[in-house]
Amino acid sequence: MEAKTKETPPVEHNKNDDDDDDDEEMNAFFTLVRNVRDAHHYQMMIESQDTKEKVAMKSTWTPSFQWEDFAAEVPPNNNTTTTAATSLLPASSSKNNNDE
């Protein structure tokens, strides 16, 4: 005994329905692509603004220095009393001042 299988009758498709479905799928796909592209551009814009803000930010503490901060300590000389300013003069000019 052979089992008889029922064949399903061919379904008549309306080509307009298929085209509408395809159009809807394409529109949905391109909408997704457009949204991804817009999100990427938005993210790039935010990152560029962040870098501009970082460059524009200034330090909260600005160091200030005085000349005395860099002056070397002069060891005391037992023979003469000198100040830091006279110790920076060349040796020949200090001898000329003593001769006068």
**How far out from the chain centre does Cα 20 lie?**
47
Q: Could you tell me the CA-to-CA distances from 84 to 44, 76, 89 in Å, in that order?
A: 58, 10, 9
* pLDDT confidence of residue 81: 55
* pLDDT confidence of residue 42: 94
* pLDDT confidence of residue 63: 76
Residue 56 structure tokens:
């524009």
Q: Are 74 and 82 in contact (CB under 8 A)?
A: yes
Q: Which of the residues in the chain have pLDDT under 70? A: 1-6, 9-17, 56, 59, 74-100
Q: Are 84 and 71 in contact (CB under 8 A)?
A: yes
